[in-house]
Structure 1
């Protein structure tokens, strides 16, 4: 994640320097998210049948080669193709999460391992943008190439560390279960059909507001991040170093808000249906995004990032609480999976939408649209809350 923190803040600006349009930049992000969504189940299945360590090694080698190529290419077509390759192969988080129990079988210690991994992820995403910004300042002509080479070296170093781990035996059942790609694809198709059948069994009249709220949060955040770095460079003339510090500040505020989330939720003791929290988050998001798009002061922009991070943290926790309170043990996994799929699909759709808006209307209109979506969500939640209240009174 340190490597991702180094590269991601500079990616859109470098693509712009190569001559990419806003649509092509949006397509680049959509391709990455789309291939991440598609390759996740495939890589996960292969790791079960061929072994997590060899599949992780293969992914690391492919990523190392792809990142070096990304840093030296000047072709837009090749640049987009390499982002697709990275999207397919960069399943390192999935594989490391699956690999951890192979070496730590004690269930109580596994939570400690995952906690430390999560901490390192947050640290990497906070420190990476800052160092990446300093590299871009130090090497203005070829800073992106230097960053890509550093990221590639990190992946190579990880392969050396991974090779020192002892091999884990794969069960004979796992080997026999899927041996050829055709059976693997059949397995994925069967799983997808089973998932659709499970969706049909869910009473969506109970969960419609949950998924509306999830869609609201993912669309707003997706539209914001699809144009964040370009917006700051165009409207506030932010340098790469300053951009790195801004992203680190935003990530730090999100982590801090998550730490105090328990104290915040205590303010909503009587909000049993979560409608008050959803309404407040939607309204704050709406005004915050509008303020971010209209302010000419970078200081005010930074201050507005605080309520934006707060809404994101509370929103994620609120959706999980809604699922826990309304679902049953028999369908909770399906609902959480559907919620995560919505987030993944949003990662494909919003960059494309943001690219078209940025190309034909302007970058700032992504913020306007995100604010409008939040306002529409607030109106829908308020209307639903009023309807339920009047209905309960009449009964």
Structure 2
């Protein structure tokens, strides 16, 4: 129902803009008003597209481990398939980002949405493991719709309005993750439920493609690049940042014209550049925060990797109830964002101690979830886990920014994203291997990694203190 309401509202917005838009040949004020109307309708449509995307994906993702097991595949093979998806995402992000700069944001976004819809549609007919693998390939290569949407957003809003609009996008993403698992869990309990859920997700992506096609785009960015060289550089830079391509080769020529990239050469240049940046970070003794980010990131991924499947095997919990629990945890995680400020004041802005304490809490909660046989204790641990990980992620980002300094913070954040991407590749593989021994294997391994991160934080606390004083 909510998806329909979103579509109707924005259809009305688009239609009103098309009907009331004054001719551009008239006064400059009319042109400005028309551009403002188009910009508002585009932002509203992107907001709905963002919600629909996350809503659809969060319906399917919690059910993947259960479905692939129903196909008769071992946990190790399931982990290998999950890692393959991570590899495709990691290496295709650069190529899709370069391609979007060449063909334009609108057409690249449209193509990515349609090919992702194809992947989820194939997932709906995946009656064997080969069809399942085939279905994951287009999604792994082209599921960069959110990154391109953010790049489009940077075209449509001013730098002053960006924090407010991005805040709305983050709120919408939280709503998508909250509602998606509930609907997915409900649909899964129907006959052929997973296939219904997959086709529903595919239909949502097709709806998003229609929204992108209906939007009255105006190529204002081309005009801005011709008129304002400084604005052009800022826009291009923001696009690269959003697509995690901060260390790439230039795309703006000396004459302020967009250059067509040689994609293989650009990819090699970026790989070499990232290796050089990584060497600089290692030599600067900032490797510890990256290692902590990696260990805690993989630990959290292991916790969630077989969450729905483990609850069914350990407590015979139905998918609908699992969906309720995931949505409940997502709600707490979103609300925990409001606690970061007061907690930071309580710790007197000492984010290192905050990170240490939140990581210790995360370790004990993962251990509690793994060892307890009472479902209500598991629910309690899942509730607190969402809060501790939200605070921990915020602390890691803050430490990266503060310890990196004015010039190195961007590099450190970029390397941190690469470290997280590597974790997304390793986590499914490790999860599949340890699941061969026990459904509690992934969270137990995650607890071990979290404990290692805690020990590193304890030994490096003196180093943090010295850096802060300097």
Candidates 235, 244, 247, aligned match of 2:314: 235
TM score, norm. by length of structure 1: 0.91
SS at match of 1:58: helix
SS at match of 1:260: helix
SS at match of 2:443: helix
Aligned pairs (5 A) from 1:48-59: 48-59=101-112
Stretches of structure 2 that go unaligned for 5 or more consecutive residues are 1-53, 227-250
Stretches of structure 1 that go unaligned for 5 or more consecutive residues are none
1:16 matched to 2:69? The reply is yes
2:449 aligns to what?
373
Aligned-pair RMSD on alpha carbons?
Answer: 2.2
Candidates 165, 174, 197, aligned match of 2:276: 197
Asked whether the 8 Å contact 1:278–1:378 carries over to 2, the reply is: no
1:125 matched to 2:201? The reply is no
Asked whether the 8 Å contact 1:254–1:310 carries over to 2, the reply is: yes
Candidates 286, 302, 305, aligned match of 1:207: 286
Asked whether the 8 Å contact 2:116–2:139 carries over to 1, the reply is: yes
Asked whether the 8 Å contact 2:102–2:260 carries over to 1, the reply is: yes
Aligned length: 382
In the superposition, relative to structure 1, how do residues 176 and 277 fare at CA in structure 2: closer, same or farther (>3 Å)? closer
Asked whether the 8 Å contact 1:213–1:278 carries over to 2, the reply is: no
Asked whether the 8 Å contact 1:250–1:309 carries over to 2, the reply is: yes
TM score, norm. by length of structure 2: 0.77
2:461 aligns to what?
385
Q: Deviations over 1:131-188 (max 9, x none)?
A: 1111112x1x311111111111111111111112234547598786226xxx211111
In the superposition, relative to structure 1, how do residues 147 and 268 fare at CA in structure 2: closer, same or farther (>3 Å)? same
Aligned pairs (5 A) from 1:241-252: 241-252=320-331
Larger CA deviation: 279-288 vs 242-251: 279-288
Q: Deviations over 1:214-235 (max 9, x none)?
A: 1221121011111211111100
1:178 aligns to what?
260
Asked whether the 8 Å contact 1:73–1:79 carries over to 2, the reply is: yes
Asked whether the 8 Å contact 2:402–2:409 carries over to 1, the reply is: no
1:342 matched to 2:415? The reply is no
1:255 matched to 2:365? The reply is no
SS at match of 1:106: coil
Q: Deviations over 1:337-362 (max 9, x none)?
A: 11111111101001101101112x21
How many angstroms apart in 2 are the aligned matches of 1:73 and 1:368?
A: 31
